[in-house]
Amino acid sequence: MNLTNFRFETDADGVALATWDMPGRSMNVITPEVMDDLNRIIDAVVADSAIKGCVITSGKDTFSGGADLTMLQGLGAEYARLSRERGEEEAMTFFFEESRRLTLLYRKLETCGKPFAAAVHGTCLGGAFELALACHHRVVSDDDKTRVGLPEIKVGLFPGAGGTQRVARLMQTGDALQMLFKGEQIRPLMARNMGLVHAVAPRGEIVQKAKEWLKAGGSAVAPWDQPKFKAPSGKVYSPAGMMTWPPANAIYRRETHDNYPAAKAILQAVYEGLQLPMDLALKVESRYFAKILRSPEAAAMIRTLFLSMGELNKGARRPKDVGAVPLKKVGVVGAGFMGAGIAYVSANAGLEVVLVDQSTEAAEKGKAYAHKLVSDQIMKGRAKTADRDALLSRIAASADYADLAACDLVIEAVFEDPKVKAEVIAKVEAVIGPDAVFASNTSTLPISGLAKASGRPEQFIGIHFFSPVEKMMLVEIIRGKATGERALAAALDYVRAIKKTPIVVNDARGFFANRCVGAYILEGHLMLAEGVPAAMIENAGRQAGMPVGPLSLNDEVGVDLALKIVKATKAQAGENAVNPTQERLLTALVEGEGRLGRKNRKGFYDYPEQGQKKLWPGLRDLQETRLDPDAVDFQELKQRLLVTQALEAARTFGEGVVTDPREADVGSILGFGFAPFTGGALSYIDFMGAARFVELCRTLEARHGARFSPPATLVAMAEKGGTFYGEAARQAA
């Protein structure tokens, strides 16, 4: 048999083994060629009467991450071309047939008459797990690295190769929907408990166990193809079904606010599919899949959350001509809230860490945070005591700057005070080697200003983490005026080592993320001052796709911090740089009412010891005017909250703070949760079209003021019919 991506052999007992091992790739992915090979394998197994059945496994370190998303993107482009050249109907026929090729192939495997078993070690996700689901038996390794799941929803898609139908026939409907909505990666034992796999075995035994199942006469008929099959939750139209579906709809609305067409399609495909026999059910799933694959949300999310994020993680912005920068030992100065987190993520990545604070006790307190974080992991069964011992042994807590001598990189996270920082810079530079890089985690102080205290500004850079450090995946790397290429490479290598996603920005007040976040919070404040009920503002934020409303977000950050930033901005940049209405509101809250945010349980919300937070009723008294809620245009509130952030992102782009649209998009989603279905703050503009966006800004400007005035660069782009990505591609060419 002529195969490129699989090895195929048959043992003395007539059991075939197909080992998926794509040449020249570190990981298996589903491509058209892989589909062709699988098709040949099925035909060969069926045709040879000496073959009893077949085990599919991987020859790589891990099973497979699923379909090649660039292939799916290519399908979209082909559809667009055909639709232009030959009309919508022909394009759609092509698209539907192509997008269901994998479904038909897997169904062929499932109904070919010979039993197939999957032996899975490592990651087995998306289309690859759908292959395993189409096999009649699934054995997974008990290894720490093994994960199965259907994460398609995370890039705006859904499992369109039978996943929705098979999962819904393996478990209770509510559980199936939850699994499909969350898209989580599932550990082996959990997968077995959920009924997703049949057996868990040591890595070295999975193939043998799968073969044993075949030799013991494993059935070649899937449960749902058995004549008396009943779905675990029974029929859709039944008392049990009525207990499931109305709440499922409500949960869908609550979780997505109808912003994610893929989530709705999951609900529809499962609801309709469960009322049909498998082949028709798969056709229904395919119809929805073809529709979702053409949706702007899927295009935007695949581009930002898969392609761009992957490129940034692999060092798209790393200076090409700088060789590997040695990075074994990292110094962290300031063992407070941020420093402790930075020390933890560094040690967790296997780096040696020297954690320095003003006293040994303070440094030890920072180290204790790492102890707490790993202990939490141990409690959840995700780490072992030995992991904790090893990690803690890599953190040396100290009050002596001399201990930083051998560090390749030192990150300071001391108080946000230029004088304190300048002292620290001098003390650190006095002990570190000539090649070591110094980074500041400042959130507001320009890097070029801080670098004035450095004797080697070309080795001085900003590495800006978000809190909590161990959870937030974004890191902003800030280039000062004098920052050199080697320091940039070192910072990027470091962020890669700790497995976070970097964006590189040029020095400016607020850098990138905090400027956009600031605009979101400001809009919430101004709505409140206008007289919009606080609950409506918060709901508008969430329904627009943000993880939390602007008032809630301000409580998390600190209402006092917001006021401090307003005052500092006014002192440095003048009266006109701040909004007087916002200043009045914040002053009344902080200085008048002592409401600092979640930290003192009093902010825009009250935070009782027991129970949920509630909006503070006194907010009404702070409103200078009050609007009739029925007269408020709710859609406009949602628009304002997204437009103001996108506009700020466009400004940072126009000013050259961000230089690559991928970074603005990835940064906006990972850094502050900008409505992910849009693909990020600049994709939001690109998909709407710059001209329409500018028009929207002008309407909002007329109604709400100059903060909605679009920058000249954006107006010029709109006039040319350009896009951020189009311009970036042209510049790169």
Catalytic residues: 464
Q: Which of 548, 551, 544 is nearest to 527 (CA)?
A: 551
Whether the Cβ atoms of residue 534 and residue 603 lie closer than 8 Å to each other = no
Residue 426 sits in the site that holds ligand NAD (CB under 6 A): no
Q: Give 139 or 414: the residue with its C-beta nearer to ligand NAD.
A: 414
Q: Give 19 or 441: the residue with its C-beta nearer to ligand NAD.
A: 441
Task: Give the nearest distance from C-beta 76 to ligand NAD in angstroms.
Answer: 38
Residue 338 sits in the site that holds ligand NAD (CB under 6 A): yes
Q: Give 125 or 475: the residue with its C-beta nearer to ligand NAD.
A: 475
Which residue's C-beta sits nearest to ligand NAD? 336
Q: Give 206 or 356: the residue with its C-beta nearer to ligand NAD.
A: 356
Task: Give the nearest distance from C-beta 561 to ligand NAD in angstroms.
Answer: 8
Cα gap 500→492, rounded to integer Å: 10
Residue 670 sits in the site that holds ligand NAD (CB under 6 A): no
Residue 439 sits in the site that holds ligand NAD (CB under 6 A): no
Token duo for residue 527? 């709505």
Residue 283: other Cβ atoms inside 10 A: 15
* Half-sphere exposure for 663 (CA within 13 Å, toward CB): 24
Q: Give 532 or 590: the residue with its C-beta nearer to ligand NAD.
A: 590
Among the residue ranges 120-128, 243-251, 329-337, 666-674, the one whose residues contact ligand NAD (CB under 6 A): 329-337
H helix or E strand, kind and range, residue 678: none
Residue 252 sits in the site that holds ligand NAD (CB under 6 A): no
Give the contacts of 176 (CB within 8 A, at least 6 positions apart).
167, 168, 170, 270
Count residues near ligand NAD (CB under 6 A).
23
Which residue is it, tokens 């809630």? Answer: 552
Residue 335 sits in the site that holds ligand NAD (CB under 6 A): yes
Q: Give 80 or 420: the residue with its C-beta nearer to ligand NAD.
A: 420
Residue 276 sits in the site that holds ligand NAD (CB under 6 A): no
Residue 333 sits in the site that holds ligand NAD (CB under 6 A): yes
Strand order in the sheet with 352-356: 395-398, 352-356, 329-333, 409-412, 437-440, 460-465, 474-479, 501-506
Task: Give the nearest distance from C-beta 415 to ligand NAD in angstroms.
Answer: 5
- Residue 698's Cβ-count burial label (10 Å; 0-12, 13-18, 19+) is middle
Among the residue ranges 126-134, 226-234, 408-416, 455-463, the one whose residues contact ligand NAD (CB under 6 A): 408-416
Q: Which amino acid is at 350?
A: G
Residue 502: other Cβ atoms inside 10 A: 27
Q: Give 244 or 440: the residue with its C-beta nearer to ligand NAD.
A: 440
Q: Which of 257, 259, 266 is nearest to 291 (CA)?
A: 266
Residue 414 sits in the site that holds ligand NAD (CB under 6 A): yes
Among the residue ranges 88-96, 270-278, 335-343, 645-653, the one whose residues contact ligand NAD (CB under 6 A): 335-343
Q: Which amino acid is at 324?
A: A
Residue 337 sits in the site that holds ligand NAD (CB under 6 A): yes
Task: Give the nearest distance from C-beta 154 to ligand NAD in angstroms.
Answer: 26
Which residue is it, tokens 């702007």? Answer: 296
Cα gap 296→303, rounded to integer Å: 10
Residue 718 sits in the site that holds ligand NAD (CB under 6 A): no
Among the residue ranges 18-26, 413-421, 643-651, 698-706, the one whose residues contact ligand NAD (CB under 6 A): 413-421
Task: Give the nearest distance from C-beta 371 to ligand NAD in angstroms.
Answer: 16
Whether the Cβ atoms of residue 262 and residue 153 lie closer than 8 Å to each other = yes
Residue 424 sits in the site that holds ligand NAD (CB under 6 A): yes
Cα Rg of the chain (Å, integer): 28
Which residue is it, tokens 């069964």? Answer: 381
Residue 671: other Cβ atoms inside 10 A: 25
Residue 420 sits in the site that holds ligand NAD (CB under 6 A): yes
Among 70, 193, 238, 358, which residue sits at the site for ligand NAD (rule: CB under 6 A)? 358
Among 184, 311, 416, 530, which residue sits at the site for ligand NAD (rule: CB under 6 A)? 416
Among the residue ranges 409-417, 446-454, 503-511, 679-687, the one whose residues contact ligand NAD (CB under 6 A): 409-417
Cα gap 479→318, rounded to integer Å: 13
Which residue is it, tokens 């998303």? Answer: 69
Alpha-carbon distances of 342 from 238, 464, 470, 498, 680, rounded to whole Å:
54, 10, 8, 10, 26
Residue 278 sits in the site that holds ligand NAD (CB under 6 A): no
Among the residue ranges 131-139, 282-290, 419-427, 686-694, the one whose residues contact ligand NAD (CB under 6 A): 419-427
Among 441, 501, 554, 668, which residue sits at the site for ligand NAD (rule: CB under 6 A)? 441
Among the residue ranges 23-31, 437-445, 610-618, 722-730, the one whose residues contact ligand NAD (CB under 6 A): 437-445
List the beta bridge partners of residue 460.
438
Range 462-481, binding ligand NAD (CB under 6 A): 465, 467
Cα gap 284→275, rounded to integer Å: 11
Which residue is it, tokens 């980074």? Answer: 439
Strands 137-141 and 199-201: parallel
- Residue 453's Cβ-count burial label (10 Å; 0-12, 13-18, 19+) is middle
Q: Give 360 or 393: the residue with its C-beta nearer to ligand NAD.
A: 360
Cα gap 680→306, rounded to integer Å: 12
Q: Which of 589, 334, 211 is nearest to 342 (CA)?
A: 334
Token duo for residue 392? 């803690």
Residue 443 sits in the site that holds ligand NAD (CB under 6 A): yes
- CA angle at 403 for the pair 390 and 483, rounded to the nearest 5°: 100
Residue 553 sits in the site that holds ligand NAD (CB under 6 A): no
Residue 346 sits in the site that holds ligand NAD (CB under 6 A): no
Residue 57 sits in the site that holds ligand NAD (CB under 6 A): no
Give the interface with ligand NAD as residue ranges (CB under 6 A).
Answer: 333-339, 356-358, 362, 413-416, 420, 423-424, 441-443, 465, 467
